[in-house]
């Protein structure tokens, strides 16, 4: 149903309540993600009404607080700076970006968790490229793309490591120590907190240690936290509750902005959230309808050795995911 059809449909009580919910207006946003979010809200409200019917004549909008709490719609902006690593003068997250990330979180939370067992593998297929610089005669630098398309089978419990298949062949990487934020497994992701504040603090503990003052890193804790969350979301399909928490945690990182239109490495267009650092914009691209993560890219904002302004220095699209019983096997369709 399109917007015109919605306008011709007389709103029910639930429709009216949905329209009253804070932070869920489509008016100012360049995407149509309301359908999966609305369906999720309607399911939650239906469950609540079955459990505790309203008194006759009680106005529907009085249950707004219960519905909003159950669906975690309201985003808290009063996160302490000490908890996020935000430095004085850092730009607050753009409200439109926070809005999008909250919608994405609601859609992620309402998805089905993949049925997995220890001994199985999480399968991910990506297409895309990265860019490398090499010195040429005369002392200049030349940018050249490298194909990063790959299939990956990551052991659910970590016992069998990871197998990758690229145009260059297949490799199996044995487990390297216990799983971590930088090398997760599905079982490890299940142990992470689903409270966005606690999860973000855990991520910042790692980024401050490796990218904070005195480390020599030029990235900084805020940018690295954004990159780390993006890596977690792309590297392996996370449990729905954790995916939602990761998106809400990202909405608290200073400097996060909305990009109205972006194209992934598979040629699919969507809407993105991003963060700018050192004249580059790191983007996460989402489907406008389903709000599913399509992929990510890093775009040059200034002419440089990496290319002209607007060049996608790196771009990776997620084209398939699933669960298999062994490495090298494709998921059942």
Domain ranges of the chain: 3-71, 81-324
Query: 280: left (phi > 0), else alpha (psi -120 to 50), else beta?
Result: beta
Which pTM does this prediction carry? 0.76
Angle (deg, nearest 10), helices 240-250 and 221-235: 160
Contact yes or no for 293/244 (Cβ under 8 A): no
Tens place of pLDDT for every residue, the chain, 333 residues?
A: 444 444 333 343 334 433 433 334 444 455 544 444 444 444 444 444 444 443 333 332 223 333 333 333 333 333 333 344 444 456 899 999 999 999 999 999 999 998 999 999 999 999 999 999 988 887 788 899 999 999 999 999 999 999 999 999 999 999 988 999 999 999 999 999 999 999 999 999 999 998 999 888 889 999 999 999 999 999 889 999 999 999 999 999 999 999 999 999 999 999 999 999 999 999 999 999 999 999 999 999 999 988 899 999 999 999 999 999 999 999 987
Residue 253 neighbours by CB distance under 10 Å: 27
Angle (deg, nearest 10), helices 240-250 and 95-109: 180
């Amino acid at each position: 149903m399109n917007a015109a059809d919605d306008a011709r449909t007389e709103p029910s009580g639930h429709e009216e309540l949905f329209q009253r919910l804070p932070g869920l207006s489509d008016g100012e946003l360049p995407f149509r993600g309301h359908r999966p979010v609305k369906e999720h809200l309607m399911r939650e409200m239906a469950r609540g009404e079955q459990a505790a019917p309203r008194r006759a004549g009680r106005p529907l909008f009085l249950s707004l607080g219960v519905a909003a709490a159950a669906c975690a719609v309201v985003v808290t902006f009063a996160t302490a700076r000490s908890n996020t690593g935000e430095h004085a003068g850092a730009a607050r997250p753009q409200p439109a970006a926070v809005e999008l990330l909250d919608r994405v979180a609601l859609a992620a939370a309402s998805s089905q968790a993949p049925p997995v067992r220890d001994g199985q593998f999480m399968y991910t297929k990506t297409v895309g490229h990265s860019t490398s610089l090499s010195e040429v005669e005369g002392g200049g630098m030349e940018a050249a793309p490298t194909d990063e398309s790959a299939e990956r089978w990551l052991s659910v419990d970590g016992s069998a490591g990871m197998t990758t298949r690229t145009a260059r062949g297949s490799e199996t990487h044995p487990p390297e120590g216990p799983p971590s934020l930088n090398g997760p497994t599905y079982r490890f992701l299940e142990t992470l907190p689903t409270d966005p504040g606690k999860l973000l603090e855990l991520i910042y503990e790692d980024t401050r240690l490796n990218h904070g003052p005195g480390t020599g890193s030029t990235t900084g804790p805020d940018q690295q936290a954004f990159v780390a969350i993006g890596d977690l979301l792309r590297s392996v399909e996370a449990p729905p509750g954790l995916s939602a928490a990761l998106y809400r945690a990202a909405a608290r990182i200073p400097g996060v902005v909305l990009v109205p239109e972006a194209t992934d490495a598979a040629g699919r267009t969507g809407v993105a959230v991003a963060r700018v650092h050192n004249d580059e914009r790191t983007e996460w691209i989402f489907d406008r309808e389903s709000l599913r993560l399509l992929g990510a890219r890093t775009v040059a904002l200034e002419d440089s050795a990496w290319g002209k302004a607007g060049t996608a220095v790196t771009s990776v699209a997620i084209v398939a995911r699933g669960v298999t019983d062994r490495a090298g096997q494709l998921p059942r369709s």
